[in-house]
Amino acid sequence: MKWLVLLGLVALSECIVILPLRKMKTLRETLREKNLLNNFLEERAYRLSKRDSKITIHPLKNYLDMAYVGNITIGTPPQEFRVVFDTGSADLWVPSISCVSPACYTHKTFNLHNSSSFGQTHQPISISYGPGIIQGFLGSDTVRIGNLVSLKQSFGLSQEEYGFDGAPFDGVLGLAYPSISIKGIIPIFDNLWSQGAFSEPVFAFYLNTCKPEGSVVMFGGVDHRYYKGELNWIPVSQTRYWQISMNRISMNGNVTACSRGCQALLDTGTSMIHGPTRLITNIHKLMNARHQGSEYVVSCDAVKTLPPVIFNINGIDYPLPPQAYITKAQNFCLSIFHGGTETSSPETWILGGVFLRQYFSVFDRRNDRIGLALAV
């Protein structure tokens, strides 16, 4: 039996549940291939949203690039669903068999009548993810993530969905803090923790850079084979999202953004990096990127000459090489930096999959901290 590093302690591998994730073609890529991306984005403008007593909204989301998905089951007998494991939200939902939206016709739906362990609360819900929204009701049932079993887990069942047509997943499994979940609902990670499913309340992501296969999310511990060196620990600055303080962002030794410090969210639910539009524009000028529709086009040869973008967090530099922040799209190249967070105060950045593919990430709920190390 192999030994694993568990937050600096030694633990048996059977204490850790490792679930495979698959990198899917994103909706952004699919729409771009069909020349429909600009129209889609104009109709569903990216925005930061508010929260009121009638609607629970998870801001700082970029639905178009929710790309890493894994399987869970709900009910007795189990019904399988493909979900995004999302650190940028806290709720679990899947489509209901009673959903009337076209998006539900192309995704798996939960049949509550076929589950002997289902319980209904009759509480209506509405959850928004930037350009997408679901409306439905709450239920409870047995939810399984690999060998982990959450009994009487509350989750949402959509009856209407808007903006999720063609999405490469059925639903979302949120892993953020309970403070942003639907009022009164205990998120699945907290339920598993309280039910003694694992001794250490941590989960971690390894997002493979190139291949569709090979990415994983692990619960209850950390497998050191997925990273190099030591984990660097960063305190969570606000226990809602997985939010941390960032010192600065620089290129070629010059500070290009976050000059007086700023906040950053580590979000597995988006593959991009988002920041205030003004600062993103400055970064694009340094790349000689040109605005085209909703995106910024960069010379593919720039990968050979551009410097890394360096994120300094808790005094440690985390470089993002041009091979990571410039992506090939058909026969041209694009920047993965996008604006849209300027309505948030103070300056806020979202570090999505493009950052997390470079750095193995550990989310420690007991100590409210995030661990980062160079991914293998």
The helix/strand count (H/E) of the chain reads as: 7, 30
Q: Based on the residue annotation, tell me whether 86 is a catalytic residue of this protein.
A: yes
The span from the CA of 155 to the CA of 277, in Å, is: 35
Asked whether the CA dihedral 298, 299, 303, 307 is positive or negative, the reply is negative
Measured between alpha carbons, how far is residue 215 from residues 23, 71, 148, 335, 357 in Å?
A: 7, 13, 19, 23, 9
Stretch (H or E) spanning 38: helix 37-43
Question: Which residue stretches of 119-260 are H helix?
Answer: 188-194
Per the DSSP assignment, residues forming a β-bridge with 56 are 127
* Cα 119 → chain centroid: 28
Do residues 175 and 189 make contact, with C-beta atoms less than 8 angstroms apart? Answer: yes
Do residues 201 and 366 make contact, with C-beta atoms less than 8 angstroms apart? Answer: yes
DSSP string, 182-211: STTPPPHHHHHHHTTS-SS-EEEEE--SS-
Q: Based on the residue annotation, tell me whether 364 is a catalytic residue of this protein.
A: no
User: 3-class DSSP state for residue 93?
Assistant: strand
Per the DSSP assignment, residues forming a β-bridge with 128 are 57, 133
Which of 65, 141, 223, 267 is the catalytic position? 267
User: 3-class DSSP state for residue 285?
Assistant: helix
Which of 86, 91, 141, 364 is the catalytic position? 86
Do residues 349 and 258 make contact, with C-beta atoms less than 8 angstroms apart? Answer: yes
Do residues 296 and 335 make contact, with C-beta atoms less than 8 angstroms apart? Answer: yes
Of 238, 237, 261, nearest in space to 249 by CA: 261
Catalytic positions, please? 86, 267
